[in-house]
Structure 1
Amino acid sequence: MGDGALSGWERSSTARVIAPARPRKLAKVPFVELADGRLQGVVSSGSDIGRVYVSSVTASAFAYACSTNNNRTCGGARGSYCNHIRALINEAVLQYGAERVARYLKCDLGDAEPGAASLVDAMVATRPSPGDSRAAATVFSRFLRHLAYLELAPTTAPLPEMQWFPPTRAVA
């Protein structure tokens, strides 16, 4: 396309959506993202339907954080990754693929077969330490925002919060 022609998606106001690497079940990990230098998301509690955990792993250092939606530290994240963080990594691999998650987190898998287990093993081998859980509020807020969009009725009308660019005015 060196002649200046734009493809269909480049002419539209929407971006391509990357399909998940494999289908995943949203009941255990309803929200997972690679953002802000972290793998982060929301993981459902196995024991309390009204509780979720906000879990994250930082890129490069693999520092971890896990706390409930009301900022109580996860009891399982003592010295290593808890089951919530392991579930988050598993779902991230399903959503994005092992290679992409490893690349984002700057994790060298060596000769290991790419997958969630080898990713966890490589990160745990570095002896990660507990990280900063201050991002939990931001991650949980993003999750709630995504839930709000799911409740909207289908429409082709523009959403005000999705209009990123101000309307242009004609210069007189």
Structure 2
Amino acid sequence: MSDWEKASTARVLPPARPRKLAKVPFVELADGRLQGVVSSGSDIGRVYVSSVEVGGYAFACSTNNNRPCGGARGSFCNHILAMVGEAVLQYGPERVARYLRVEAEPTGHAIAAEMMRTGPAQAGTNAAATVFSQFLRHLAYLELAPTTVPLPEMQWFPPTRAVL
């Protein structure tokens, strides 16, 4: 068994390009959505939780207090556009386009433009509570000291070898 298999952490793919975490500290492709947390440009204590659903591109954007975003009325707001751009930096344009099922040139601007052109007329399911709690859980991991001791919450992974 290799050293990484004994560790309490999993291998992480490096980002496609380095990105700054101040504007979009959390972005992920999960649960059939591109979802993330975007900092407010006007209030340091406020963040927006944004998401775009795979395929139909239904979207949602609200504050961490579940107040709707004023800019997300029938079209993507600046928070969603920033999240798409950061997802392209994190995962690469091809992977983001493939995940969202967007037929467009593999650039952040083209992906967002094609999604707006083909579909986000309706609001999506607001998954703000789920996305925000995942963001907070990720923040908690940053406070842990590096270790090879197993973490109890990571023990759901199946064993790597058969027990006879």
TM-score, length of structure 2 as denominator length: 0.89
The answer to whether the 8 Å contact 2:27/2:35 transfers is yes
Secondary structure of the 2:38 match is: strand
SS of the equivalent of 2:118 reads coil
State the shift of 1:88 in Å.
0.2
Give the distance between the partners of 1:36 and 1:130, measured in 2 at CA: 17
Structure 1 residue 127, shift from structure 2 partner: 3.4
**Quick one: which amino acid aligns to residue 122 of structure 1?**
E
> Residue 34 of structure 2: which of 34, 39, 48 is its match?
39
Residue 124 (structure 2) pairs with residue 131 (structure 1): yes
Alignment partner of 1:107 is 2:102: yes
Structure with larger RCO (C-alpha < 8 A, sep 6+): 2
| In the alignment, structure 1 residue 157 sits paired with structure 2 residue 152 | no
Cα distance, 1:136 vs. partner? Answer: 1.0
> Matched residues, percent identical?
72
What is the one-letter code of the residue matched to 1:155? Answer: T
User: Are the structure 2 counterparts of residues 166 and 79 from structure 1 closer, same or farther at C-alpha, using a change threshold of 3 Å?
Assistant: closer
- Does 2:48 correspond to 1:53? yes
User: What does residue 64 of structure 2 align with?
Assistant: 69
What is the rounded CA distance, in whole Å, between the counterparts of 2:158 and 2:115 in structure 1? 43
Partner of residue 11 from structure 2, selected from 10, 16, 25: 16
Bigger radius of gyration, 1 or 2? 1
Q: What displacement does 1:166 show? A: 8.2
C-alpha separation in 2, matches of 1:165 and 1:52: 32
* Partner deviation per Cα, 1:92-139 (whole Å, 9 max, x = no partner): 000001110000001111xx3x21100011101113121111x11010
Letter in 2 for 1:141: S
Superposition RMSD on alpha carbons, in Å? Answer: 2.1
Q: Secondary structure at the match of 1:125?
A: helix
Deviation of 1:154 (Å): 2.1
Q: Which whole-Å CA distance do the structure 1 matches of 2:110 and 2:158 have between them? A: 46
What is the identity, as a one-letter code, of the residue corresponding to 1:136?
A: A
The number of residues matched between the two structures is: 158
The 3 A distance-change label for structure 1 pair 165 and 24 is closer
Which residue identity lines up with residue 146 of structure 1 in the other structure? H
